[in-house]
């Protein structure tokens, strides 16, 4: 098979690469459209207007194209972006209750759960101190989140169970609401855990990287034995109850070795997951199984195939729980003009087993994300510096990209550690979802309305 020339490789993404900081043109079965970047509005265009704007942008004259778009009434004068806040109160924390793991995943971002340190478990007093700080700084009526991470959190089951009950009691006494989440490999689940999830209405994220052969090659036990059979058996136990208070999501870390996404999605749907999310391995501490440009191109192709399956399902009246689509459509519809990609270092922080506060769970034991500790609280100077340096307008080339408010600069950890190799993939997926959004708005508005309420 002939290898694509460099020109062909460039052309593959030409229609989604930034040509203007203020507008993005695209076409769907519903017609020609322009995304007004600043407002988030999507404007239908007569073909002649679309052709004029496209021709001007092809000439490399975005200023003239933007003036023309302004005359057409489809571009909003740029508003001053919101300034970086000096501090943000923490409303969510993740506890690394076990900085160790029973699996030996090939790409592990947590370095087998130790985050580059010594394997260990979070003592109960550290967990209580973290919870006391989270709950104690909340005002009555606020909503908080307590997440359990690792490593594998169920390695330290006793602290996980005790911390859940302690947090629920503390929140009730304070007059605040608290939700619970856990990310797990699901190999250690037992009936006591399931009873806890039911009692407190957990949201569980199960790490599953494909069907049996693929998953076993990427996520074996330390002994080298595959883990899929045990995961599948335990996940099945989660779905026994017809009605349950907890939700179970599947998260697939995509590497160059598991890019058959439609097959994976079909298998996970058959297992009964409430939602499925694909996330590329862009930055691993070891560098192993990271995605390069060619891998990311193939990922986009595969994700679009999954999107087409989602679209066909809609025609049959079924909304597949495919989070990559549903969350993006919601972001487009609600015109979220975010200056940060997530809550890391703002309303959310990760807590190490020793009690260190970090920008998120991926920064545990990493000086780049250190924010203080649970005993003395957030270091306001560190948080202020983080919020300023990570603000969207400080990111290059994000501040001039049409996708900036839909992407918000992408994962902090990945951009700090590896730069931004995934921009073409991200823009390609956003463009696909813009096309899908306009088509649904015209031909299937009832389904779109239902999608907008998916959690």
Contacts of 211 (CB under 8 A, 6+ apart): 228, 263, 264, 267
| CA 286 vs CA 99, 105, 215, 224, 291: distances in Å | 17, 12, 19, 19, 13
| CA 200 vs CA 68, 94, 152, 169, 395: distances in Å | 55, 16, 20, 11, 39
Span 348-394, pLDDT tens digits: 999 999 999 999 999 999 999 999 999 999 999 999 999 999 999 99
Mean pLDDT of 304-328: 97
Query: Residue 444 is encoded by which pair of tokens?
Result: 């299937």
User: Is the pLDDT assigned to residue 81 strictly greater than 80?
Assistant: no
Q: Dihedral through CA 363, CA 367, CA 372, CA 373, nearest 10?
A: 70
User: Is the pLDDT assigned to residue 197 strictly greater than 50?
Assistant: yes
Q: What is the β-pairing status of strands 143-150 and 120-121? A: unpaired
Taking the C-alpha atoms of residue 5 and residue 3, their distance in angstroms, rounded to an integer, is 6
pLDDT of 395: 93
Taking the C-alpha atoms of residue 433 and residue 328, their distance in angstroms, rounded to an integer, is 7
CATH number of 92-370: 3.20.20.70
Average pLDDT, the chain: 92
Q: Helix, strand, or coil here: 438? A: helix
Mean pLDDT of 203-229: 93
Taking the C-alpha atoms of residue 196 and residue 203, their distance in angstroms, rounded to an integer, is 11
Indicate the pLDDT class of residue 236, thresholds 50, 70 and 90. Answer: very high
Taking the C-alpha atoms of residue 445 and residue 279, their distance in angstroms, rounded to an integer, is 28
Q: Is pLDDT larger for residue 419 or for residue 167?
A: 167
At what angle are helices 157-174 and 124-136 packed, to 10 degrees?
A: 20
Give me the helices (H) in 316-422, please: 323-333, 380-389, 404-407, 412-418
pLDDT of 4: 44
pLDDT of 114: 56
Give the closest residue to 422 by CA, choosing from 256, 286, 287, 295: 295
Taking the C-alpha atoms of residue 446 and residue 314, their distance in angstroms, rounded to an integer, is 10
Give the count of beta carbons closer than 10 Å to the beta carbon of residue 175.
Answer: 12
pLDDT of 107: 84
Taking the C-alpha atoms of residue 13 and residue 422, their distance in angstroms, rounded to an integer, is 12
Which residues belong to CATH 3.20.20.70 in the chain?
Answer: 92-370
Q: Is 137 exposed, middle or buried (0-12, 13-18, 19+ CB in 10 A)?
A: middle
Taking the C-alpha atoms of residue 164 and residue 178, their distance in angstroms, rounded to an integer, is 10
Contact indicator for 146, 315 with CB cutoff of 8 Å: no
Helices (H) and strands (E) in the chain, counts: 16, 14
Give me the helices (H) in 106-148, please: 124-136
User: Is the pLDDT assigned to residue 225 strictly greater than 80?
Assistant: yes
Q: Phi-psi region for residue 269, left (φ > 0), alpha (ψ -120 to 50) or beta?
A: alpha
pLDDT of 110: 58
Q: What is the β-pairing status of strands 348-351 and 356-358? A: antiparallel
Buried b (16+ CB within 10 A) or exposed e, 13-23: beebebbbbbb
Q: Helix, strand, or coil here: 36? A: strand
Q: What is the β-pairing status of strands 275-280 and 42-45? A: unpaired
Mean pLDDT of 270-289: 89
pLDDT of 83: 84
Q: What angle do CA 258, 263, 265 make, to 5 degrees?
A: 90
Indicate the pLDDT class of residue 5, thresholds 50, 70 and 90. Answer: very low
Mean pLDDT of 268-293: 90
- Cα within 13 Å of Cα(171), Cβ side: 23
Query: Residue 109 is encoded by which pair of tokens?
Result: 């971002």
Taking the C-alpha atoms of residue 281 and residue 364, their distance in angstroms, rounded to an integer, is 18
pLDDT of 120: 86
Query: Residue 116 is encoded by which pair of tokens?
Result: 């580059």
Q: What angle do CA 431, 433, 435 make, to 5 degrees?
A: 70
Taking the C-alpha atoms of residue 280 and residue 133, their distance in angstroms, rounded to an integer, is 33
pLDDT of 76: 80
Mean pLDDT of 177-193: 97
What is the layout of strands, in order, in the sheet containing 23-28? 23-28, 31-36, 42-45
Report the range of poorest mean pLDDT among 27-31, 112-116, 157-161, 254-258.
112-116
- Cα within 13 Å of Cα(179), Cβ side: 13
Taking the C-alpha atoms of residue 373 and residue 63, their distance in angstroms, rounded to an integer, is 48
Q: Phi-psi region for residue 113, left (φ > 0), alpha (ψ -120 to 50) or beta?
A: left
- Total-model pTM: 0.93
Give the closest residue to 423 by CA, choosing from 34, 24, 17: 17
């Amino acid at each position: 098979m002939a290898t694509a020339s460099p020109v062909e490789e460039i052309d593959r993404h030409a229609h989604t690469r930034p040509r203007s900081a203020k507008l993005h043109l695209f076409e769907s079965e519903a017609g020609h459209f322009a995304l007004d970047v600043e407002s988030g509005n999507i404007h239908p265009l007569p073909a002649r207007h679309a052709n004029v704007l496209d021709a001007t942008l092809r000439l490399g004259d975005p200023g003239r194209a933007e003036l023309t778009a302004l005359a057409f009434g489809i571009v909003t004068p740029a508003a001053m972006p919101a300034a970086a806040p000096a501090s943000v109160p923490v409303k969510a924390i993740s506890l690394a209750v076990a900085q160790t793991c029973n699996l030996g995943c090939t790409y592990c971002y947590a370095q087998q759960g130790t985050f580059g340190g010594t394997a260990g478990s979070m003592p109960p007093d550290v967990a209580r101190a973290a919870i006391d700080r989270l709950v104690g700084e909340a005002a009555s009526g606020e909503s908080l989140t307590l997440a359990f991470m690792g490593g594998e959190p169920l390695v330290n089951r006793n602290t996980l169970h005790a911390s859940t009950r302690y947090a629920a009691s503390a929140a009730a006494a304070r007059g605040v609401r608290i939700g619970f989440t856990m990310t797990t490999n699901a190999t250690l689940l037992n009936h006591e855990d399931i009873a806890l999830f039911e009692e407190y209405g957990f949201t569980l994220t199960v790490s599953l990287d494909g069907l049996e052969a693929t998953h076993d090659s990427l996520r074996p036990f330390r002994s080298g034995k595959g883990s899929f059979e045990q995961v599948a058996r335990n996940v099945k136990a989660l779905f026994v109850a017809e009605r349950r208070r907890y939700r179970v999501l599947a998260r697939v870390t995509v590497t160059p070795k598991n890019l058959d996404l439609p097959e994976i999605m079909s298998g996970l749907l058959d297992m009964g997951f409430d939602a499925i999310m694909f996330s590329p391995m862009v930055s691993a501490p070891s560098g192993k199984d990271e995605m390069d440009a060619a891998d990311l191109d193939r990922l986009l192709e595969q994700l679009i195939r999954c999107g087409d399956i989602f679209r066909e399902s809609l025609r049959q009246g079924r909304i597949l729980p495919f989070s990559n689509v549903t969350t993006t459509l919601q972001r487009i519809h609600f015109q979220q003009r975010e200056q940060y990609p997530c809550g890391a270092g703002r309303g959310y922080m990760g807590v190490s087993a020793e009690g260190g506060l970090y920008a998120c769970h991926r920064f545990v034991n990493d000086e780049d994300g250190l924010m203080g500790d649970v005993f003395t609280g957030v270091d306001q100077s560190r948080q202020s510096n983080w919020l300023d340096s990570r603000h969207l307008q400080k990111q290059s080339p994000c501040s001039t990209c049409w996708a900036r408010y839909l992407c918000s600069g992408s994962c902090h950890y990945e951009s700090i550690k590896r730069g931004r190799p995934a921009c073409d993939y991200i823009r390609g997926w956003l463009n696909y979802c813009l096309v899908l959004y306009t088509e649904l708005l015209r031909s299937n508005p009832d389904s779109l309305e239902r999608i907008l309420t998916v959690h």
